[in-house]
Amino acid sequence: MIHGIQPGPLLFQDQGRLVYGLFGAMIMANFLNLWVGQVGLRLWVKVVSAPESFVFSSAILLCIVGVGMATNGLFGVVVMLIFAGIGYLMTSIGLSIVIFIITFFLGSRFEISLSQSLALMNADFSRIVDYPIALALLALSIISIVWFLVGRKKSHQ
């Protein structure tokens, strides 16, 4: 129970005014989004046709101001600029930034899952053949790695 509201099949019957009020608010918000999108379309056409130097410098300025306001200091701005430099270096040597971000956020979760799996299998990787879903996922991951490497070799030729 949250704020005196009992979720479940009787929600519409017991809290009808609240539920239909939320639906009405969402419908109004969607119409407002449509109106803002239609009005802002002319603005976005001008933004897209602006020179890249102006768009990039404006984006950097907005990022710096946003991080500075969110952290109330320069520490966040310095961290942002350091990671921007790392991202630039990664791009310049051909590494994927998206893969780095996914790894950064999912790496600790992967370590926890791996240690749990090792505990369940008593640190014996040969027991993976007892689990057909694990075998299928392992096969899919090997296929995707091979596909990625073959595609990367073809793109470099």
Residue 150 tokens, joined:
């073959």
pLDDT tens column, 27-46: 999 999 999 998 888 888 88
The SS3 assignment for 5 reads strand
Contact 77, 64 (CB under 8 A): yes
CA separation, residue 77 to residues 59, 62, 84, 94, 154 (Å):
14, 11, 10, 25, 40
Count of Cβ atoms closer than 10 Å to residue 66 Cβ: 13
Q: Which residues of 4-33 are buried (b: 16+ CB within 10 A; e: fewer)?
A: eeeeeeeeeeebeeeeeeeeeeeeeeeeee
Q: What is the pLDDT along the chain (157 residues), one digit of tens a residue?
A: 667 777 778 877 888 788 889 899 999 999 999 999 988 888 888 878 888 888 889 999 999 999 999 988 889 999 999 988 988 998 899 888 888 888 888 888 888 888 888 888 787 777 777 778 888 988 999 999 998 888 776 766 6
pLDDT at 131: 79
Residues in the chain, total: 157
Please state the separation of Cα 21 from the chain's center in Å: 31
Spatial separation of the C-alpha atoms in residues 27 and 30, rounded to whole Å: 5
